[in-house]
Amino acid sequence: MLAACSLAAILSVPAHASDESPWSEDTRSAIRLIAGSNTSTDALRAGIEIKLHPGWKTYWRYPGDSGIPPKFDFSGSENLKNAKVFFPAPHLFSDETGHSLGYKDKVILPVVVSPQQPDKPVRLRLKADYAVCEKLCVPAEGRAELTLVVGDSAQNSALMAAETRVPRHMTAVQAGLTVRRVKGGPKPAVAVELVAPAGQPIELFVEGPTPKWALPIPMPSQGAPAGRAQFRFELDGLPPGVNPQGQFDLTFTVVKGERAVEVKTRLD
């Protein structure tokens, strides 16, 4: 009985005691873990927060024409079954080196944490390897640890705002998205059309079936009918041995203002 009471006390520790870890800083950026408000230990909400010095940026899960995607290692954690990192919709950056996808100023990447034993807290330990860029890109590394508990968190509103920026899954039919080849050859052109309300800015990003793919960022095309937007890209950056005339799944991220959706569809 005493052990049970002690465990209950641990699980009900007010979250203000562990809202965030200290910042792990370098000369251009800093990284930390934050906790969300949690009502159950079955699935705990957390976030990886990265802040950047003015003029610097870091990368999305797919960096675009250049850059390095971040890597997050939680293998040193305690009572952790799984930690799934989610990426808010990125910004498109364009300069003389091409187009890249990522974040400036600061970003919170939501994390859903599953414990090995739901009746015990999770001690989350993070080792992060990422890149930050101004005119040149340099590697960055950070470490953070945080115990996740049941209770309210002062960081919850910031985490919720980041969660709303994570693209929600949608079918191609729901998004009104169609994709087709419009030119053959060793680098076929692909045309994408989707629903786009008039006057609303829209961006489109594409990823291949595995991280080994490095597809170009789709560029807007002219002449789309009312209520539609059209984009085009070449099937370039395929892994060695992949037939560009073959069938494969593509993942599209559609960003409309502050909202984004993610669509997986087959290119036949």
Q: Is the pLDDT of residue 180 over 90?
A: yes
Q: 25-71: per-residue pLDDT in tens? A: 988 999 999 999 999 888 999 999 999 999 999 999 999 988 899 99
pLDDT of residue 98: 82
The predicted-structure confidence for 6-34, as pLDDT tens digits, reads as follows 333 333 343 334 799 999 998 899 999 99
**pLDDT value of position 15:** 36
Closest CA to 122 of 82, 159, 172: 82
Q: How many angstroms separate the CA atoms of 98 and 219, rounded? A: 12
Name the helix (H) or strand (E) containing 111: strand 106-115
**Domain parsing of the chain, residue ranges:** 15-166, 169-267
Fold for the domain defined by 169-267: Immunoglobulin-like (2.60.40)
Residue 14: the pLDDT is 38
**pLDDT at 172 exceeding the cut of 90:** yes
* pLDDT tens digits, one per residue of 110-130: 999 999 998 889 999 999 999
Neighbouring-strand partners of residue 137: 133
**CATH code linked to domain 15-166:** 2.60.40.1250
